[in-house]
Chains A and B, each alone.
Chain A
Amino acid sequence: MSVLAFEGVSLILGQARLLDRIDLRVGAGERVAILADSGAGKSWLLRLAIGLAAPASGTVTLMGIDLADADADTRRLLRARCGMTMQGGSLLGDLSVEENLRLALAGGSGGAARRIDRLLLEFALEQAAATRADALSIGQRRRAELARAFVRDPDLLILDEPFEGAFARSDALEAQVRRRVVPQGRALLLLTQDEGLAARLCERVYRLEQGRLVQQAAAVTVPDAAS
């Protein structure tokens, strides 16, 4: 079963057709990348995928449920099974890093606290746990957002330019993301401009050109799960 499927999805913004009959399936455990230049509509794909925007035509199915038929509560439940990072960051500025992570969890049990502590450690955020998100550096924000994406043990990850601004640690972050995606068999939809990153992390790579998805040559290597 596909965890995410776009069938004939089009999106029109103003007079421009940003997405034109997009077909895409991301199966359980599959890693798919979409390469696109700035302004080509990558972030709209994320919004469509989780039901934050409705397509002009076509259907978007998340976890097997057509988002057009799902009410607001159902859409929230479906989103709760996904982990996301948004381009430019989307942490809640008036909450601390730890609170941003806790917000992603439904309960505040001891297990949840341990999971948050572990993620803070893995993403080198333990010193910044109590710092308000709006006081973090750009790199710290990206790490916090990535940690938040993983905190719910998601079935599907949708990462929109996940390492943007985290230049100094991008290799370590990439390895960290790989460790949390590949061995766990999580599905990944990576939206990026970075061809190398797409090839290293994903099995299938598409390019978004003039609103259409064009499949690229198969990724060079499937990364070693243990690396």
Chain B
Amino acid sequence: MAAVTGGALKPVAAIGAGLWLTARAGSGLARRLWRGESLAQRQLADSLPVHVWRPLRTLLPLAALAGIIAGIGAARLLALYNAQIPVLTALADVLLRDVVPLLVGLFACGSVSVALAARLGAMGLAREIDALEALGRDPAAHALGPALGAVLLSAPIHMCLAGLAAIIGCGLPLGLIANVGWPLWTSFALSHDAAQAMLTGMGKLLLYALIAFVIGSAVGAKPARAPADIGRRAITAFTAGLLGIFTAAALWTALA
């Protein structure tokens, strides 16, 4: 019984540790930036390409492909029922509110949580975490803070750009199969309602990115004893991140 309780408490303890580390990383980075620490600014600037710009090379084609898939489905529906207003409204809404945030969230899970778990493991093995502690510095603020800043900045940028890519991808099959022109499709995809869906999607993506961050830092903070541990931690962070993001997505949809 005690073993069962201990096993059930493990994920709760890990989530608690991840939340604690994330809070320390955020407050520590804010303090460092407030003090005008040039090293913090440089570390944040170095994190931006890793977490904001470089993922776009994969993320934008993925979003466009997801848009194409959704567009083909909608175009076939339109060919059968010719109900443009409900189908195109629902398409823009589900794309921007659910599909794109989930897609970008999954991508964040693959990049943020895996990258963090691997980086913290490598830092632990190289005694860099010990060195930060020995220098009287908070390792969370230094090792995680800049990455947290970049991940939080990446969420609105990724959502906007991936949303646009998905809308463009969606417009192609709609035009080719269902004869829906760009002016008609964009009047739905860029409408006030679609903008609201985009904002909701942005909120979801922020939550997913934070989940990926919390899980990556919780898994990475466990001491690694050998280089092989780093790979195992990365896999654990990825699978746990997937579970966390899908759970959050299901709960949000159910409770909204």
Contacts and interface: CB of A to CB of B under 8 A. Distances in A.
A102 B130 contact: no
A71 B105 CA distance: 37
A76 interface: yes
Nearest to B126: A93
A82 B133 CA distance: 11
Interface string B36-65: 011100100010000000000000000000
Nearest to A107: B35
B128 interface: yes
Interface in A164-180: none
Interface stretch (A28-36, A84-92, A118-126, A196-204): A84-92
Given A92-B128, A93-B126, A84 B134 contact: yes
Contacts of A93: 126, 128
Nearest to A145: B131
B30 interface: no
B114 to A, nearest CB: 18
B138 interface: yes
Contact of B128 (A50, A90, A104): A90
B38 A108 contact: yes
A130 B131 CA distance: 20
A12 interface: no
B136 interface: yes
B142 to A, nearest CB: 8
Interface in B4-54: 37-39, 42, 46
B154 to A, nearest CB: 19
Nearest to A73: B138
Contacts of A148: 135
A79 B37 CA distance: 21
A93 B37 CA distance: 19
A79 B131 contact: no
A153 interface: no
Contact of B127 (A79, A90, A99, A103): A90
Contact of B132 (A50, A82, A92, A94): A92
Interface string B100-139: 0000000000000000000000000011101111111110
* Chain A interface residue number, banded: 20 to 34
B130 A79 contact: no
Given A95-B39, A108-B37, A103 B135 contact: yes
A80 B38 CA distance: 20
B108 to A, nearest CB: 22
B135 A79 contact: yes
A76 B133 contact: yes
Contacts of A47: 130
B130 A103 contact: no
Contacts of B39: 95, 99, 102-103
A86 B132 CA distance: 12
A52 B136 contact: no
A52 B127 contact: no
Nearest to B37: A108
Query: Max chain A CB contacts within 10 Å: which of B38, B135, B138?
Result: B135
A16 interface: no
Interface string A17-58: 000000000000000000000000000000100101000000
A148 B132 CA distance: 12
Contact of A86 (B134, B138, B142): B134
A84 B130 CA distance: 11
A52 B128 contact: no
A88 B127 contact: yes
Nearest to B36: A108
B137 A86 contact: no
The 3 closest A-B pairs by CB, nearest first: A80-B136, A90-B131, A90-B127
Interface of A: 47, 50, 52, 76-80, 82, 84, 86, 88-95, 99, 102-104, 108, 148
16 contacts: A50-B133, A52-B133, A79-B133, A79-B136, A80-B136, A86-B130, A89-B127, A90-B126, A90-B128, A90-B130, A90-B131, A92-B128, A92-B142, A93-B126, A94-B46, A148-B135
Given A82-B134, A103-B137, 10 more contacts: A47-B130, A52-B130, A76-B137, A78-B136, A86-B134, A89-B126, A90-B126, A92-B128, A92-B132, A103-B142
